[in-house]
A = this chain, B = another copy of it.
Amino acid sequence: MRVVRNVEQLREAMEYMRGGGHGPIGLVPTMGFLHEGHGSLLRRAGEMCGTVVMSIFVNPLQFGPNEDFESYPRDEKRDLELAEREGADIVFIPSVEVMYPTPIRTQVSVTSLTTQLCGASRPGHFDGVTTVVSKLFNMVQPDYAFFGLKDAQQVAVLRQMVSDLNMNVNIIACPIVRESDGLALSSRNVYLSKEERDQALVLSQSLQEARQAFEEGKANTVAEVQQLLVSVISRSPLANIDYAEILTFPGLDSLDADASLMTIDGEIIIALAVKFGKTRLIDNIVFTPKEVVVLV
């Protein structure tokens, strides 16, 4: 495994790998503080690609002024051990100065998929994501890029960007990885107190219960499912709901509150963002209502 820290080294390493006929190139962009979710992306990349590149960069552009850019957890040594163990060939760890040597004046932005959900709570966040991912794509020129579905809106936004701009890369969305008790893995889980960590289970629980209630015919409309989510999350006194929404996926179009889920064509997403103290957690499930075997 090779660790590179500037763009010239990265390009040189990529040229070497491309020249060697090692097969497709996979990119796993991350912000580091890696966990098993990232591990699963690396393994998927390893299955599909001859060369696996992981980037580790806490991108200031995608943090709001009052967000946790400064305090975002970092542990390079542990990250490199995980990357090596999970089969990364090249790890790119640029500094902010390497990524933004001069103030950046160019922005890649996706409209209409970025005004809802996390886009509403975190204005400018997705512009930061699409801009830095564009840079990484141009540096690495991957055939495939791997992203976790925990950030489902990010996946939808990046797919739109790739399609609209004819980028030469396939976005591979990988399933959410969870703790055994259901909590979705996140680098930000480290922020949680013991009590918050316990109560954070309401995210995955509410999603499971919402889906189950739909299967059992106990919640049929968008409003009913949403109500159920809120009532389950409210079991946790520490939980502060940012959003709990049901939208089409990947279009992220809003649905009529009275619409029965069974009438909806294609996939939907049930998406949550919930704050515990200062820590904002997200979770979601994506499924096709018409394919669910409703048990009544």
Query: Residues on A close to B: CB < 8 A?
Result: 7, 102, 104-113, 130-131, 134-135, 138-139, 141, 160-161, 163-168
Is A107 within 8 A of B109, CB to CB?
yes
Is A165 within 8 A of B7, CB to CB?
no
Is B166 within 8 A of A139, CB to CB?
yes
Is A164 within 8 A of B105, CB to CB?
yes
Residues of chain B lying within 8 A (CB to CB) of residue A107: 108-111
Extra inter-chain contacts (18) besides given A104-B164, A141-B168, CB under 8 Å = A7-B166, A102-B163, A105-B110, A105-B113, A105-B160, A106-B110, A106-B130, A106-B164, A107-B108, A107-B109, A108-B165, A131-B165, A134-B165, A135-B165, A135-B166, A138-B165, A138-B166, A138-B168
Oligomer: number of copies:
2
Q: Is the interface of A mostly helix, strand, loop or mixed?
A: mixed
Distance (whole angstroms) from the CB of A237 to the closest CB of chain B: 40
Distance (whole angstroms) from the CB of A158 to the closest CB of chain B: 10
Residue of B nearest to A140 (CB): B166
Residues of chain B lying within 8 A (CB to CB) of residue A168: 138, 141
Q: Which of B109, B160, B167 contacts A109 (CB 8 A)?
A: B109
Ordered nearest first, which 4 A-B pairs have the shortest CB separation?
A106-B164, A138-B166, A106-B161, A106-B110
Residues of chain B lying within 8 A (CB to CB) of residue A106: 108-111, 130, 160-161, 164-165
Residues of chain B lying within 8 A (CB to CB) of residue A105: 110-113, 160, 164
A166 to B112, CA, bound (A): 26
Which residue among A108, A109, A112 has the maximum number of chain B CB atoms within 10 Å of its CB? A108
A168 to B7, CA, bound (A): 12
Which residue among A106, A109, A112, A166 has the maximum number of chain B CB atoms within 10 Å of its CB? A106
Residues of chain B lying within 8 A (CB to CB) of residue A135: 164-166
User: Could you name 28 residue pairs across A and B whose Cβ atoms are closer than 8 Å?
Assistant: A102-B163, A104-B164, A105-B111, A105-B112, A105-B164, A106-B108, A106-B109, A106-B110, A106-B111, A106-B130, A106-B161, A106-B164, A106-B165, A107-B108, A107-B110, A107-B111, A108-B165, A109-B109, A131-B165, A134-B165, A135-B164, A135-B165, A135-B166, A138-B165, A138-B166, A138-B168, A139-B166, A141-B168
